[in-house]
Amino acid sequence: MKTTAAHPFVRLFGRYLRDQGFPMTQQRASVADVVFGSDEHLSVEEIEGCLRARGERIGKATIYRTLDLLVRSKLVDEHDFGEGFKRYEHRLSRQPVHEHLICLSCGKVTEFRSSEILRLEERVAREHGFRPSRHKLEIYGLCADCRQSGARLEDEGLTCPIETI
């Protein structure tokens, strides 16, 4: 049942479910509690691990189905950082719109805000007759820690840079 220390934001999810005519089950509450209780960008595997660490065994299918509801509710964002699987991040207690710095060595994700990007989105969209709905700005590279521990990014490619053709 795990009524212990349920994250307050879980109630918001409960409201969304009620609005949509879906019941709040203990599995849904548990998955939501894990997601709202972390400020990381969690993978399904990590979520499953957190649940198991609490002594709750919830099937992957249920986790996926609950994440789908959380994303629909707009309380949670889904990200694909090109790792071959998705990551999930709740949108509460943080700036609703933010961008990501992703370390190519350790995978750490850092968030940052930018107002310029909103202006840029607006302007570019206008120039193309495009109605923007959302954007994604990701900067990939090496985080401070990995730089210091001497991590390197392999670089191959043509010996003659294409610009010199």
CB atoms within 10 A of CB 153: 10
Indicate which of a second copy, DNA, none lies near residue 22 (CB less than 5 to 8 Å, by partner kind): DNA
Indicate which of DNA, a second copy, none lies near residue 84 (CB less than 5 to 8 Å, by partner kind): DNA
Contact 63, 48 (CB under 8 A): yes
Tell me how far, at minimum, the Cβ of 89 lies from DNA, in Å. 13
Nearer to a second copy, 57 or 131 (CB): 131
Determine the Cα–Cα distance for residues 21 and 30; give it in Å rounded to an integer. 19
Determine the Cα–Cα distance for residues 44 and 87; give it in Å rounded to an integer. 7
Any bridge partners for residue 88, and if so which?
42, 78
Indicate which of DNA, a second copy, none lies near residue 160 (CB less than 5 to 8 Å, by partner kind): a second copy
Instruction: Identify which range of 39-47, 121-129, 138-146, 150-158 contacts DNA by CB under 7 A.
Output: 39-47
Determine the Cα–Cα distance for residues 17 and 3; give it in Å rounded to an integer. 18
**Residue ranges in contact with DNA by CB under 7 A:** 22-28, 43-45, 57-62, 64-66, 68, 84-86
